[in-house]
Amino acid sequence: MSKGVLLLNQDYSPLTICSMEKAFILVFLKKAELLSEVEDQMIRTVTRVYPMPAVIRLFNYIHLPYRGVVLTRQNIFKRDRFSCQYCGSGKNLTLDHIVPRSKGGKSSWMNLVTACRRCNTTKGDRTPEEAGLLLKDQPHKPTYLMFLRDYSGSVRKEWMPFLQTRVKT
């Protein structure tokens, strides 16, 4: 029961991933409708059996300001799939500024990549071109929906129809 439930706004746009308990309460109190349930799993009470929610949709629209993915060390690692963007290693990972801070490089989605300690030391205070290194993937700023779909690490098959249609690739 520890798996999350995809919570959609009234317009079917993804809001967040909530706990199964919260999702059940929203449906039970008629604040949301059940769109998809987990196969072969039920919530049992003393007198009733309910389907376990996988995707629910709110009846009332919730207006939220722009939701972006926060620039954090962990989110950079997730975006880069926990591998060095120069050699592909998954060990001793650090963050690397493509354009070094000493040369005016900022901490941004487009200038930070995951690098292993060895490649980061080799690159030093130079650009990848100056150090003779090639980036495996160009850095990008993930959208909130991309982040939910690709980087949350626990995307359920029941969520895919609601996430795929909204993410432009």
Q: Higher confidence at residue 160 or residue 49?
A: 49
pLDDT digits (tens, 9 = 90+) for 24-57: 999 999 999 999 999 889 999 899 999 999 999 9
pLDDT digits (tens, 9 = 90+) for 78-129: 899 999 999 999 999 999 999 999 999 999 999 999 999 999 999 999 999 9
Contacts of 4 (CB under 8 A, 6+ apart): 17, 18, 19, 20, 154
Give the Cα separation of 114 and 80 in Å (integer).
6
List Cα–Cα distances, 133 to 81, 84, 128, in angstroms.
Answer: 19, 12, 5
Does residue 168 have a pLDDT over 60? no
Residue 18's pLDDT band (cuts 50, 70, 90): confident
For 67-94, give the DSSP string: ------HHHHHHHTTTS-TTT---SSEE
**Is the CA virtual torsion 56, 61, 64, 65 positive or negative?**
positive
According to the model, what pLDDT value does residue 94 have? 96
User: Residue by residue, what is the 3-state secondary structure of 102-166?
Assistant: HHCCCCCCCCEEEEEHHHHHHHCCCCHHHHCCCCCCCCCCCCHHHHHHHHCCCCCCCCHHHHHCC
Q: Which range among 93-102, 116-125, 134-143, 158-167 shows the weakest confidence by mean pLDDT?
A: 158-167
Count of residues in the chain: 169
Does residue 164 have a pLDDT over 80? no
Mind listing the domains of the chain with CATH numbers? 5-66+144-164 (no CATH), 73-131 (1.10.30.50)
Give the mean pLDDT of 56-70: 87
Per the structure block, which two tokens stand in for 85? 């963007």
According to the model, what pLDDT value does residue 150 have? 63
The model carries a pTM of 0.64
Q: Higher confidence at residue 14 or residue 126?
A: 126
Residue 154's pLDDT band (cuts 50, 70, 90): low
